[in-house]
Chains A and B, each alone.
Chain A
């Protein structure tokens, strides 16, 4: 699979939106070259605001802009946008339900060499616990473009988590992102694997390998972590009777938690969660780190076998 840059897709989409709509304004905190908001800054310098290394204020200023009729996109690294600035996001954006679109890059362990201080393994959890916030973790560039266009014109706050690393492209132009909906990429009978971000491509790989062993996997890509698609989860779990979640995030509070909570309350089946096991990351190359933490097809296969044992 061809590897593609989600953050470049973000920057390019911002420029397209900016051409059509003067209300689009973009904020960054001294990382515009990395988040790719620099593309918008170059095209529309009057509507781009570099707020310096001051993420809390950036969120408040964006909220003030939204309260004055603009559509602000706010970008920095995921750890700063969802951690450093958390309380501004809660108080000034989510509490008044303002249309601020927080799109952070450098989510997850694939941040790589910068190490634990910069690897956001808890960003989805940080945003999930705030009312009114909705969370999307795209898998590739095609999906990223659609997500950015969709949230621009959906009222209220959003958090979109993008990566530093390029990820394999899994969608073609016919793909249609639907907010709050998961998508069955492959139908199966024995175990459901629910994934998002880079883990969706590993889920497809694992399903191919397991098929040769006679195990049939249903692969669900779940870009919207909040609100989670309960209906699809119940439908799939009632067919397969076992679920594995896979995310490039801590197992505390992310996709795995959201899926487990939904199933426990609606259709309890054995669930195994693959993610970073409540530890900090470390330096290394992005793809090395994925394998180091078993965030790959092997890790998924292990969890599938474990959940199959519990199913029996």
Chain B
């Protein structure tokens, strides 16, 4: 396992190359599949589209301290699309927030890793999410509070494209711009699939870039699976003044496993044992 000392994470923009990030992301995807299959429950598809972004945030970008999850100077990450928490749990375990074995507690009655993130049960979770459209508002609140404190900590938040159908997302979008929250960076995991099918068929949120621009945000479009582009977009967000940044990340649901890619059926369904073996093999695991 690729391990870093906690002190590695306490400065931003770490020297970590794309090949290393890619190896870590592959391990995280395996964790996601194992965690969900072990309880035959959870949301692997969206977790895999979000993986590369969450890995880049925690291993490259964010200033944080796995030994002291409430460290005052930390940057915050809010997973507004809380259902993809297996990706976040895996990253939190691998960076040292809690023992790796704890991943076995996911969705179990005697475990601390809830089906959706619970800030009171899991170290490293900044706010409890799960019901869509609320986390982004909480992220706005954190960014406002940090501004009041004249802190240079930054707030990152990931939302889903289906989630953007919730009106409260736009309430938060308006407020972030109104209060000039340049310490807020939201990443939209644009895999274009929600439970019932393609986002543009269920209830189109397109054109998106234009919407957020019209709301006064700085908008960047990237390939959400290209570590170079993810890093560059996060770096660009640091330099934006007086407005929040929206990174629209084009992603692939189920990314990394060929038979899962771009298939809505793996939104909220775990792989059965035979398909899990096949998927892990594709991800390079020696079975």
- Seen from chain A, the residues whose Cβ lies within 8 Å of a Cβ on chain B are 25, 46-47, 49, 51-52, 54, 56-57, 59-70, 72, 87-88, 90-92, 95-97
Where the two chains meet, the residues of B that have a C-beta atom closer than 8 Å to any C-beta of A are: 78, 118-120, 126-131, 133-146, 148-149, 167-168, 171-172, 174-175, 178-179
Cross-interface CB contact of B139 among A25, A47, A52, A64, cutoff 8 Å? A64
Q: How far is the CA of A63 from the CA of B145 in the complex (A)?
A: 11
Chain B residues with Cβ below 8 Å from A62 are 141
Which of A56, A63, A87 sits near B141, CB closer than 8 Å?
A63
- Shortest CB distance A94–B (Å): 10
C-alpha gap A90/B179 in the complex (Å):
25
Candidates B137, B144, B148, B167; contact of A92 at CB < 8 Å:
B137
Q: Could you say which residues of chain A place their CB within 8 Å of the CB of B129?
A: 91-92
A56 to B119, CA, bound (A): 20
Q: Quick check: B174 and A54 within 8 Å, CB to CB?
A: yes
CA A66 to CA B120, docked complex, whole Å: 14
Task: Give the residues in chain B near A47, CB-CB below 8 Å.
Answer: 148
- Give the interface SS of chain A, mostly helix, strand, loop or mixed: helix
The reply to whether B131 and A60 form a contact with Cβ atoms under 8 Å apart is no
Q: Which among A52, A54, A64 has the highest number of chain B CB atoms within 10 Å?
A: A64
User: A196 to B35, alpha carbons, bound, how many Å?
Assistant: 51
Cα distance A63–B172 in the bound complex, in angstroms: 13
Contact present for B119 and A64 (CB under 8 Å): no
| Contact between B142 and A65, CB atoms less than 8 A apart | yes
Please name all residues of chain B whose beta carbon is closer than 8 Å to the beta carbon of A52 when the two chains form the complex. 171, 174-175, 178
Known contacts A57-B172, A70-B148, A88-B168; A64/B128 CB under 8 A:
no
User: Which residues of A lie under 8 Å from residue B143 when comparing CB positions?
Assistant: 64
B135 to chain A, nearest CB (A): 8
Bound-state Cα–Cα, A69 to B133, Å: 23
**Which A-chain residue is minimally distant from B173 (CB atoms)?**
A57
- Chain B hits for A46, CB < 8 A: 148
B175 touches A51 (CB 8 A): yes
Task: Tell me which residues across on chain B come within 8 A of A63, comparing CB atoms.
Answer: 127, 137-138, 141
A91, B134: Cβ atoms closer than 8 Å: yes
What is the CB-to-nearest-CB distance from B252 to chain A, in angstroms, rounded to a whole number? 29
| Residue contact A97 to B120, C-beta cutoff 8 Å | yes
Please, which residue of chain A has its CB at the minimum distance from the CB of B80?
A60
Q: Are A49 and B128 closer than 8 Å at their CB atoms?
A: no
Instruction: State how many angstroms separate the Cβ of A168 from the closest Cβ of chain B.
Output: 38
Q: B168 and A57: CB pair below 8 A?
A: yes
A25-B148, A56-B167, A64-B137 known; 8 new pairs, CB 8 Å cut-off, are: A51-B171, A60-B140, A60-B172, A61-B141, A61-B144, A65-B142, A67-B138, A96-B119
Evaluate contact between A68 and B119: CB separation under 8 angstroms: no
- Given A46-B148, A61-B144, A67-B138: A92 and B171 interface contact (C-beta under 8 Å): no
B175 touches A67 (CB 8 A): no
Min CB distance, B123 to chain A, in Å?
14
Report whether A67 and B168 are in contact in the complex, using a CB–CB cutoff of 8 Å: no
Query: Contacting A91 at CB < 8 Å: which of B130, B149, B179?
Result: B130
Inter-chain contact A92/B146, CB cutoff 8 Å: no
Contact at A54–B140, with CB atoms within 8 Å? no
Can you list 5 residue pairs at the A/B interface with Cβ under 8 Å?
A: A57-B171, A59-B137, A67-B138, A92-B129, A96-B120
Provide the bound-state CA to CA distance between A25 and B78, in Å: 22
Q: Which residues of B contact A66 (CB under 8 A)?
A: 141
Closest Cβ–Cβ distance, residue B78 to chain A (whole Å):
8
| Distance between B167 CB and nearest chain A CB, rounded to angstroms | 8
State in angstroms the CA–CA spacing of A72 and B142 once bound together.
Answer: 12
Is the Cβ of A56 less than 8 Å from the Cβ of B171? yes
Which residues of chain B have C-beta atoms less than 8 A from A91's C-beta?
128-131, 134
Q: Which 10 A-B pairs have the closest CB atoms?
A: A64-B141, A60-B137, A57-B171, A68-B145, A64-B138, A61-B141, A54-B171, A96-B128, A64-B142, A65-B141
> CA A56 – CA B133 in complex, angstroms?
10
Do residues A64 and B171 form an inter-chain contact, with CB atoms below 8 A?
A: no
B145 and A64: CB pair below 8 A? yes
Flag if B140 contacts A67 (CB, 8 Å). no
Q: Shortest CB–CB separation between residue B174 and chain A, in angstroms?
A: 7
Q: In the complex, A296→B126 CA distance in Å?
A: 48
B168 — which chain A residues lie within 8 A by C-beta? 54, 56-57, 60, 88
User: In the complex, what residue of chain B is closest to A85 when comparing beta carbons?
Assistant: B168
Give the complex CA separation of A97 and B142 in angstroms: 16
The answer to whether A54 and B175 have CB atoms under 8 Å apart is yes
Please state if B141 and A60 are interface contacts (CB–CB under 8 Å). yes
B171: A residues at CB distance < 8 A: 51-52, 54, 56-57
For A50, give the chain B residue with the smallest CB separation.
Answer: B178
A47's nearest neighbour on chain B, judged by CB, is: B148
Chain A proximity of B282: nearest CB distance (Å): 36
Set of chain A residues within 8 Å of B178, measured between Cβ atoms? 52
Q: Which residues of chain B have C-beta atoms less than 8 A from A67's C-beta?
A: 119, 126-127, 138, 141-142
Please tell me if the beta carbons of A61 and B120 are within 8 angstroms of each other in the complex.
Answer: no
| Chain B residues with CB below 8 A from A97, complex form | 120
**B128–A88 contact, CB under 8 A?**
no
